[in-house]
């Protein structure tokens, strides 16, 4: 989608601090980090949010979580980490392209605000 920020980041039209890339995914550091490690994982294809995922997206989602596990291991997130995907207005989603926040290297409170 031409006017989607994360589509433009995935296409390299908007610069990002890239952590990992393959044919399906891009991982890059969040511009406004909420933890010592805070990166985003996005599918390269445009998906509005987790609300429109279907059973057919299962391989993509498996790849997302396997990639997150690999990256967290490489980054030494030995104390654990949190994966969050915000959905819609009440979920606090500001960019309407599916993305997974990965936060690590501090103790994270629960429940969220
Ligand atoms: P959401 O609020 O939609 O769950 O998360 C969007 C995230 O994208 C926010 O944490 C925000 O800091 C991040 N973000 C917004 N614009 C940019 C950008 O241009 N580059 C990067 N790296 N992160 C961005
Ligand atoms: Zn998009």
Residue position matching structure tokens 């550091």: 29
**Structure token pair of residue 18:** 């890239």
Q: Which CATH number fits domain 5-104: 1.20.1630.10, 3.30.428.10, 3.40.50.300, 3.30.70.20?
A: 3.30.428.10
- Cβ–ligand 1 distance for 32 under 6 Å, the answer yes
pLDDT in tens, 33-59: 999 999 999 999 999 999 999 999 999
Pairwise CA distance, residues 16 & 104, whole Å: 19
pLDDT band for 11, please (50, 70, 90 cuts).
Answer: very high
Q: Is the predicted pLDDT of residue 89 greater than 90, yes or no?
A: yes
Termini Cα distance of the chain: 31
Cα of 107 vs centre of ligand 2, distance in Å, is 31
**Spatial separation of the C-alpha atoms in residues 62 and 38, rounded to whole Å:** 20
Nearest CA to ligand 1 atom 19: 31
Residue 108 in this model has a pLDDT that exceeds 90: yes
- Residues with a catalytic annotation lie at 99
Distance of CA 71 from the midpoint of ligand 2 (Å): 23
User: pTM of whole model > 0.85?
Assistant: yes
Atom of ligand 1 nearest to the CA of 95: 3
């Amino acid at each position: 989608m031409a006017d989607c920020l994360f589509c433009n980041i995935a296409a390299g039209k908007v610069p990002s601090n890239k952590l990992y890339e393959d044919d399906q995914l891009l991982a890059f550091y969040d511009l406004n980090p909420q933890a010592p490690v805070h990166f985003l994982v996005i599918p390269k294809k445009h998906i509005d949010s987790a609300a429109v995922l279907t059973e057919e997206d299962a391989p993509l989602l498996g790849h997302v979580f396997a990639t997150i596990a690999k990256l967290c291991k490489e980054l030494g997130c030995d104390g654990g980490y949190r994966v969050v995907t915000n959905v819609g207005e009440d979920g606090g989603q500001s960019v309407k392209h599916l993305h997974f926040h990965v936060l690590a290297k501090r103790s994270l409170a629960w429940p969220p605000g």
